[in-house]
Amino acid sequence: MASKYPHFQPYGQKLIRWMENVNEPGCPVQISELNTETLPRPTDWRVNHSRGWLSSEQIASIVGLGLPIGDLIPNDLYPTESPCLQHSIIKTIGGTAALIGTIAPGVLFIYSIKRRPLPSNDPYMSQLAKMAYETHFPLDSLKYVIVNEIQEHATETFVMERIYPSREGLSYPSAEPQTWDYPLPEFTAIMGTPIGKVVGSFILGAFGQGVKRIAQIVTFQDGLELHKLHVGFHIEDVQI
């Protein structure tokens, strides 16, 4: 059967099969062992993290997800007691590679990712994401990855021009969050976009095949005239 979205859907289908089936052949992603000591040329990198509360927008985006919201609401009287951390991994010498995000128990917010075009010996963004989260919390505790303020052109354009118009009466941008469940072709196609590939590769590099999968994707907008696109990925165990 022909794909509804031939540019992105076929690779999205591959990612889904690799995540769901330990025996699915052809997966190019290996378990990542990257940490601050094993970064290539560690002195070329700057890794920083500090405690800080989530923003009101971040809090709003995770309401209803089953996370400990009460523990994450900012408390100005006790700023150093936040369980959340701002974490950055930036290559400062020899090229551009960076991941900047905020980490809370059960959720990883990513709002800046950069990597030199291939060929590049720099770590993949999925490897840096795993390295960042497991610095602070057990990997198995992660339930959501939210990529904030999508600036990757192919992903943003595809969501705007193809994904939203696929839903009758829906225009882009929308003030209402949109949920895309597996096995909708829109879900599969988003998984095949550059941003979806990063998150899918993160799951495979963190857990291997047949352990965790993306079960649901949520797209939503905020900011002035709803100009900021965010994409959230819900992680769950693969049911055997």
Cβ atoms of 219 and 159 within 8 Å: the answer is yes
pTM score: 0.93
Domain for residue 208, yes or no? Answer: no
Per cent of the chain over pLDDT 70 is 98
State pLDDT tens for residues 173-220.
Answer: 999 999 999 999 999 999 999 999 999 999 999 999 999 999 999 999
Q: Which of 204, 229, 205, 209 is nearest to 217 (CA)?
A: 229
* C-alpha dihedral sign at 191, 196, 199, 205: positive
Domain for residue 157, yes or no? Answer: yes
Domain for residue 196, yes or no? Answer: no
At residue 119, the pLDDT reads: 67
Q: What angle do CA 141, 191, 152 make, to 5 degrees?
A: 100
How would you class 175 by CB atoms within 10 Å of its CB: exposed for 0-12, middle for 13-18, buried for 19 or more?
exposed
The domain in which residue 58 lies consists of: 30-183+213-237
User: Mutual orientation of helices 185-192 and 9-20 as an angle, nearest 10°?
Assistant: 90
Q: Which residue has the higher pLDDT, 3 or 115?
A: 3
Report the domain count for the chain. Answer: 1
Domain for residue 107, yes or no? Answer: yes
